[in-house]
């Protein structure tokens, strides 16, 4: 990047850099003590970017996503992983019949219903933050670090209940053992980016996030690029 004169960088970081929260909601001052390889790898890059800023004037914006979700409201762009690991698309695949059930890992966390709590943020609101970051850097701005979330947490059980309401489909749940490296609660305090850049989520309601993701799932029932039925 230095060789080609690229001295501005926007990095998609993650709430996983914080590890088990000391307090919730999590602001930018929260200690970063990741408890899984994903969070550690992202924190390493944040630290490298700090070093590049100090040594080579490479300015960066690190955006720490909480749980990215949703899809383009028109159904043209959406979430697709092989294999899928994110909760909302997995739940919606169970609703559409692409999978027989949704596995819930752990029902004895220290939360009201025993399942993990996460902060879900619409991908379009993440895009808006990226645009603000781009303009900030192009205007000569300094390096920044921001948490991106809606500030409201929903448990896995609540996510499944919202999916049932939005889709009007039955969704079978099977409970399995907790997974190592899953904190009980991850909820963002995004007040800094709101105050400094005026960022404001426009599609924050879980029902809206779910409806957009469901529209994508219905339009592309076997995955956006596969073009074949499940199991083939």
Name the β-bridge partners of 110. Answer: none
pLDDT in tens, 127-152: 999 999 999 999 999 999 999 999 99
Rounded to an integer, the average pLDDT of 160-182 is 95
Tell me the pLDDT band of 221, cut-offs 50, 70 and 90.
low
Number of Cβ within a 10 Å radius of residue 193: 22
pLDDT in tens, 12-65: 999 999 999 999 999 999 999 999 999 999 999 999 999 999 999 999 999 999
pLDDT of 2 reads 87
Number of Cβ within a 10 Å radius of residue 18: 24
Rounded to an integer, the average pLDDT of 86-114 is 95
120 class by beta-carbon count within 10 Å (0-12 exposed, 13-18 middle, 19+ buried):
buried
Tell me the pLDDT band of 185, cut-offs 50, 70 and 90.
very high
Q: What percent of the chain has pLDDT over 90?
A: 85
Active site residue 54: no
pLDDT of 124 reads 97
Q: What are phi and psi of 156, to 5 degrees?
A: -60, -40
Instruction: Give the homologous superfamily in CATH for domain 8-219.
Output: NAD(P)-binding Rossmann-like Domain (3.40.50.720)
Nearest of 66, 69, 72, 100 to residue 173 by alpha carbon:
100
Question: Which is catalytic among the residues 38, 54, 109, 146?
Answer: 38
pLDDT of 232 reads 33
pLDDT of 76 reads 86
Rounded to an integer, the average pLDDT of 202-215 is 97
pLDDT of 3 reads 92
pLDDT of 223 reads 47
Q: Where are the domains of the chain?
A: 8-219
For the chain, give the DSSP string: -TTTT--EEEEEEEGGGG-S-SSSSB-TTS-----SHHHHHHHHHHHHHHHHHHHH--EEEEEEESEEE---TTSSS----SS---HHHHHHHHHHTSSS-EEEE-S-SSSTTSS-EE-EEEHHHHHHHHHHHHHHHHTT---EEEEE--S--EEHHHHHHHHHHHH-----EEEEPPPTT--SEE-B--HHHHHHH----SS--HHHHHHHHHHHHHHSTT-TTT-S-TT-
Pick the more confident residue, 48 or 83.
Answer: 48
**C-alpha 100 chain-centroid distance:** 25
Q: Taking the C-alpha atoms of 51, 52, 54 and 58 in order, what is their torsion angle to the nearest 10 degrees?
A: -150
């Amino acid at each position: 990047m230095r060789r080609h004169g690229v001295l501005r960088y926007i990095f998609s970081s993650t709430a996983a850099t914080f590890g088990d929260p000391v307090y919730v909601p999590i602001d930018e001052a929260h200690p970063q003590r990741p408890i899984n390889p994903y969070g550690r790898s992202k924190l390493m890059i944040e630290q490298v970017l700090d070093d590049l800023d100090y040594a080579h004037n490479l300015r960066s914006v690190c955006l720490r996503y909480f749980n990215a979700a949703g899809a383009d409201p028109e159904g043209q762009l959406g979430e697709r992983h092989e294999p899928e690991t994110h909760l909302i698309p997995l739940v919606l695949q169970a609703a559409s019949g692409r999978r027989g059930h949704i596995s819930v890992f752990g029902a004895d966390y220290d939360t009201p219903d025993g399942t993990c709590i996460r902060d879900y943020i619409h991908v379009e609101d993440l895009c808006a933050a990226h645009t603000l970051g781009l303009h900030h850097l192009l205007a000569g701005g300094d390096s920044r670090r921001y948490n991106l979330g809606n500030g409201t947490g929903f448990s896995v059980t609540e996510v499944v209940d919202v999916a049932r309401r939005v889709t009007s489909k039955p969704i079978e749940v099977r409970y399995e053992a907790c997974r190592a490296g899953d904190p009980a609660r991850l909820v963002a305090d995004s007040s800094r980016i709101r105050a400094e850049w005026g960022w404001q989520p426009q599609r924050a309601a879980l029902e809206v996030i779910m409806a957009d993701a469901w529209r994508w799932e219905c339009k592309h029932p076997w995955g956006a690029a596969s073009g074949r039925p499940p199991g083939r």
